[in-house]
Amino acid sequence: DPGDAEKGGYDHFMLKEMVEQPKAMMETLMGRCCESGVTFAGLKLNTEMMKNINRIQIVACGTAYHAGMVGKYYFEKFARISVETEAASEYRYKDPIVDKNTLLIVISQSGETADTLAAIRLAKERGAWVLAVTNVVGSSIAREADDVIYTNAGPEIAVASTKAYVTQVGCMMMLASFLGELNGKMEKAEGSRICHGLMMTPGLIEKALETQAVIKAFADKNHKIYDLFYMGRGVDLYTSMEGSLKLKEISYIHSEAYAAGELKHGPIALIEDGTIVVAVCTQENVFEKMLSNIKEVKARGAHVLAIVQEGHQDIATEVDEVWVIPEMDDDITAIPTIVYLQLLAYYLAVARGCDVDKPKNLAKSVTVE
Ligand code: G6P
């Protein structure tokens, strides 16, 4: 296969790109994130302009949409600005409330997604300021936006997005912190804490990649499953949603990601003896709540795999399997945690003999509607 050389010795582009994530994240943070806070060289958006902004919308598709959900969470947490995150295919057809006081943030790996591009055009017609977060220099989205932040992840070939996602999330966190400082809602010390946390992420991703053998063993044992549930609270919900999307995309296993507290309002009816539930529990403020949700699904026979930070290993008495991630600032867990879920999706797909880099029915970039 002529493409083999480009895979640099890896079986798949997806694996190569997952392994490249520490470097990609470093490139994203470089020159922007330092102990004193975040700067974006060349960004036109400034304090004066922010004074006139009374609405922020984040619009994207697929994996980038999930980065947008994490973005909303941290814009609200750090900058105390309320944000709507919406799929571009919905936004463009619903006569959105958008005017000259709106900041529209679009996220797109390729910079060519048709629905996202249409959302930009609609918002610009109505006077909005458009800031694009994209990976491809000179792409249509980069050209049409008023401002651009490049993710700098390097080329992504595999259909299932991995390094683009972690760098999009990194950009969202930096942007949230940047806007929090611009609008005076965030203390300088908070900005430093977030930057400090972000600078740890390349090393933390490295640690996640070192657990491949454990994840592969889990996948080899469980690849015959027909569905899988993910649950989380707070930012762990969005990590769950992205993990679930990865799994569907490449392994064709049906899966759902749910807000842990919502399980009892429906999906818990689907839990049977042996159903695997991945409980993402990286957030201290809702840890006890996650524990009670774990007990609820265990009582229905679920086989629970919990992901916890170091220090919470004792959850092992409550669940069937634990993956312990290093201890870290709760506000950056979205970045390293997704890597475990990417690897889980990858090794389940490989164990099932799926064509990981070219999943059926999917395209890398959807440039026609
Ligand atoms: C396709 C790809 C996804 C991607 C989505 C949005 O569906 O398969 O991986 O997340 O498009 O693409 P974009 O290039 O706009 O991020």
Assess contact for 305 and 276: CB atoms under 8 A. Answer: yes
Distance of CA 38 to the CA centre of its chain: 20
The model's confidence at residue 6, banded by pLDDT at 50, 70 and 90, is confident
Q: Give the atom of ligand 1 at the shortest distance from the alpha carbon of 159.
A: 8
Instruction: Tell me the DSSP string of 66-106.
Output: HHHHHHHHHHHHHH---EEEEEHHHHTTS-----TTEEEEE
**Interval 12-49: pLDDT, tens:** 999 999 999 999 999 999 999 988 899 999 999 998 99
pLDDT of amino acid 216: 98
Ligand 1 centroid to Cα of residue 146, in Å, is: 22
First to last CA, the chain: 31
The model's confidence at residue 307, banded by pLDDT at 50, 70 and 90, is very high
Q: Does position 151 have pLDDT exceeding 90, yes or no?
A: yes
Is the distance from the beta carbon of residue 337 to the nearest atom of ligand 1 less than 6 Å? no
pLDDT of amino acid 342: 98
**Interval 182-206: pLDDT, tens:** 888 899 999 999 999 999 999 999 9
Ligand 1 centroid to Cα of residue 313, in Å, is: 36
* CA–CA gap between residue 163 and residue 176 (Å, rounded): 20
The predicted model gives 302-307 an average pLDDT of 98
The predicted model gives 253-268 an average pLDDT of 95
pLDDT of amino acid 258: 97
Q: What are 190-193's contacts with CB under 8 Å, separation 24+? A: 190/78, 191/36, 191/37, 191/38, 192/35, 192/36, 192/37, 193/329, 193/331
Q: Does position 135 have pLDDT exceeding 80, yes or no?
A: yes
Ligand 1 centroid to Cα of residue 333, in Å, is: 23
Global confidence as pTM: 0.97
Q: Does position 260 have pLDDT exceeding 60, yes or no?
A: yes
Read off the tokens for 307: 């992901």
* CA–CA gap between residue 105 and residue 270 (Å, rounded): 37
Read off the tokens for 212: 């491949």
* Least confidently predicted of 2-16, 212-226, 326-340: 2-16
Is the distance from the beta carbon of residue 108 to the nearest atom of ligand 1 less than 6 Å? yes
> Whose Cα sits closest to atom 11 in ligand 1?
365
Ligand 1 centroid to Cα of residue 350, in Å, is: 21
* CA–CA gap between residue 33 and residue 164 (Å, rounded): 18
Is the distance from the beta carbon of residue 64 to the nearest atom of ligand 1 less than 6 Å? yes
Is the distance from the beta carbon of residue 63 to the nearest atom of ligand 1 less than 6 Å? yes
Ligand 1 centroid to Cα of residue 113, in Å, is: 7
Looking at the chain, how many residues does it have? Answer: 369
pLDDT of amino acid 2: 53
Rounded mean pLDDT of the chain? 96
